[in-house]
């Protein structure tokens, strides 16, 4: 297991610029060699600056498929929708030409449409060129929430599922998320975190302890040929 490579920036603007430049280079390489590129990104609030920088870069965006690593089970009209955030901050300017694959289907429970979601995400194909993960201060990444019902299916390294359904305790809505096998073998795999509190969470996750308590450990401990990249700014 290779040690993660830690990229530290003086501020969040510099981080966004560097991450966007690096991601665009990998996407351009994939388009040049295979004619298409696959990118999976996180939701929440952290990626907005990075999305805005990336969306302005000139690429053959029509050859790029973009999806989220996870979604809150809410329609796009909701202020909590990761897809709506992605449309506002990433699918703009040149990047508006990309093909976006969302999770949400109008159904009260994600279990009712699980098969549809499985087909949708299996169609994207295995092995993303780029996966950018976020992390919560509870040690969750994607929607792999600590000790939540549904977590085991998400973390199974030999599992067949592309999409997991998680019911985090004390949260209003269920979550849908790409599973460990979908995310961990990305060519460029990065964890984008900002602020001292998340740095402390990351350091806690590096210590010994169970994956169920801090599911981001599944990524930190993944057996990969390329190291995981950590992008951090205060």
Ligand X SMILES: O=C1O[C@H](COP(=O)(O)O)[C@@H](O)[C@H](O)[C@H]1O
CB of 34 to ligand X, least distance (A): 27
**Strand order, beta sheet including 188-194:** 5-8, 229-233, 188-194, 130-133, 37-41, 64-68, 99-101
- C-alpha distances (whole Å) from 65 to each of 36, 68, 75, 82, 165 are 8, 10, 21, 16, 22
Does 46 contact ligand X by CB under 6 A? Answer: yes
**Closest to ligand X by CB, 28 or 166:** 166
Instruction: Give the span between the Cα atoms of 65 and 101, in whole angstroms.
Output: 7
User: Residues 29, 44, 94, 159: which binds ligand X (CB under 6 A)?
Assistant: 44
CB of 170 to ligand X, least distance (A): 13
Segment holding 51, helix H or strand E? helix 48-55
Span near ligand X by CB under 6 A; candidates 5-13, 30-38, 39-47, 98-106: 39-47
Site mask, ligand X, residues 68-107, x = CB under 6 A? -xx-----------x-------------------------
Contact 205, 139 (CB under 8 A): yes
CB of 105 to ligand X, least distance (A): 17
Q: What is the DSSP letter of 67?
A: E
Does 55 contact ligand X by CB under 6 A? Answer: no
- What is the contact surface with ligand X in residues (CB under 6 A)? 42-46, 69-70, 82, 134, 136, 143
């Amino acid at each position: 297991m290779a040690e993660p490579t830690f990229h530290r920036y003086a501020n969040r603007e510099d981080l966004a610029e560097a991450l966007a430049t690096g991601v665009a280079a990998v996407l351009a390489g994939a388009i040049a060699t295979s004619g298409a590129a696959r990118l999976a990104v996180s939701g929440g609030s952290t990626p907005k600056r990075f999305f805005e920088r990336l969306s302005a870069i000139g690429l053959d965006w029509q050859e790029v498929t973009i999806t989220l690593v996870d979604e809150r089970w809410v329609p796009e009209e909701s202020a909590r929708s990761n897809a709506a955030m992605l449309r506002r901050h990433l699918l703009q300017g040149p990047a508006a030409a990309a093909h976006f694959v969302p999770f949400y289907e109008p159904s009260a429970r994600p279990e009712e449409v699980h098969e549809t979601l499985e087909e949708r995400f299996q169609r994207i194909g295995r092995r993303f060129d780029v996966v950018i993960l976020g992390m919560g201060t509870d040690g969750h990444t994607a929607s792999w929430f600590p000790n939540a019902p549904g977590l085991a299916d998400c973390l199974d390294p030999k599992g067949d599922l592309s999409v997991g359904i998680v019911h985090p305790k004390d949260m209003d809505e269920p979550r849908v998320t790409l599973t460990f096998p979908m995310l961990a073998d990305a060519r460029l795999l990065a964890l984008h975190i900002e602020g001292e509190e998340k740095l402390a969470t990351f350091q806690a996750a590096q210590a010994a302890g169970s994956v169920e308590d801090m599911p981001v450990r599944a990524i930190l401990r993944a057996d990969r040929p390329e190291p995981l990249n950590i992008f951090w700014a205060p």
